[in-house]
């Protein structure tokens, strides 16, 4: 990474990396919202930061069991971008949901793939943690969650 200070953040926030996800990845700050945590986890995937991903999984998930899979996945996954579709911001709740889509190319499969999920986050003390997710239903004639403005069946649903 040449000039990381002025680089746009990977998470698509249109802020620079050093004022967006980097302070979280460097443990200088703790994300205040579930969405910020989710964005920083995406940036951790892009920057191959397995430790950060494992630390921000809820302990109940026993994410360490996926450590090898996670690290192996880094090598052949090329991330194309993140799109936050909706997020809940209830300041008084320790539970939050973020719906997002992320596209990537799995260099083994050699085609673009879409992740579309509604993730659930739990706050423990000051720290938001990722716990689990559901996959929202998308109709074949609905707009594609990847943000292309095309119908799902003509875009990422065309498999
Ligand atoms: Zn960011
Ligand atoms: Zn699409």
**DSSP codes joined into one string, 40-86:** HHHHHHHTT-HHHHHHTB-GGG-GGGGHHHHHHHHHTEEEEEEEEEE
Smallest-distance ligand from the CA of 148:
2
- The answer to whether residue 4 scores a pLDDT higher than 80 is no
Write down the architecture of domain 17-154 according to CATH.
Roll (3.10)
Which residue pairs, CB below 8 angstroms and at least 24 apart, start in 29-34? 30/126, 30/127, 31/128, 33/87, 33/89, 33/96, 33/128, 34/87, 34/88, 34/96, 34/97, 34/98, 34/119, 34/121, 34/123, 34/128
The pLDDT value recorded for residue 13 is 95
> 39: CA distance to ligand 1 center in Å?
6
The Å distance, Cα 15 to ligand 1 centre, comes to: 7
Q: What pLDDT digit, counting tens, does each position of 93-135 carry? A: 999 999 999 999 998 887 889 999 999 999 999 999 999 999 9
**How far is the centre of ligand 1, averaged over its atoms, from the C-alpha of 67 (Å)?**
23
Q: How far is the CA of 140 from the centre of ligand 1 (A)?
A: 31
| Domain ranges, ordered by start, for the chain | 17-154
pLDDT band at 3 (very low <50, low <70, confident <90, very high): low
41 Cα–ligand 1 center, Å:
9
151 alpha carbon – ligand 2 mean position (Å): 8
Measured from the alpha carbon of residue 80, the closest ligand is 2
> Is the whole-model pTM more than 0.85?
yes
Q: How far is the CA of 2 from the centre of ligand 2 (A)?
A: 31
- Express each pLDDT in 7-65 by its tens digit: 999 999 999 999 999 999 999 999 999 999 999 999 999 999 999 999 999 999 999 99
- Rounded to the nearest angstrom, the distance between the alpha carbon of 23 and the centre of ligand 1 is 10
């Amino acid at each position: 990474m040449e000039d990381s200070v002025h680089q746009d953040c990977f998470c698509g926030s249109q802020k620079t990396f050093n004022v967006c996800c980097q302070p979280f990845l460097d443990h200088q700050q703790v994300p205040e919202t579930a969405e910020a945590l989710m964005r920083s986890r995406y940036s951790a995937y892009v920057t191959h930061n397995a430790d950060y991903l494992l630390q921000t999984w809820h302990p109940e998930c026993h994410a360490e069991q996926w450590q090898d899979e996670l690290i192996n996945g880094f090598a052949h996954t090329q991330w194309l971008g993140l799109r936050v579709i909706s997020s809940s911001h209830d300041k008084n709740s320790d539970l939050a949901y973020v719906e997002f889509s992320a596209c990537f190319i799995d260099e083994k499969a050699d085609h673009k793939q879409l992740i579309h999920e509604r993730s659930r986050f739990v706050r423990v003390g000051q720290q938001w943690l990722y716990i689990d997710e559901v996959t929202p239903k998308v109709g074949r004639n609905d707009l594609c969650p990847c943000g292309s403005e095309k119908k799902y069946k003509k875009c990422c649903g065309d498999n």
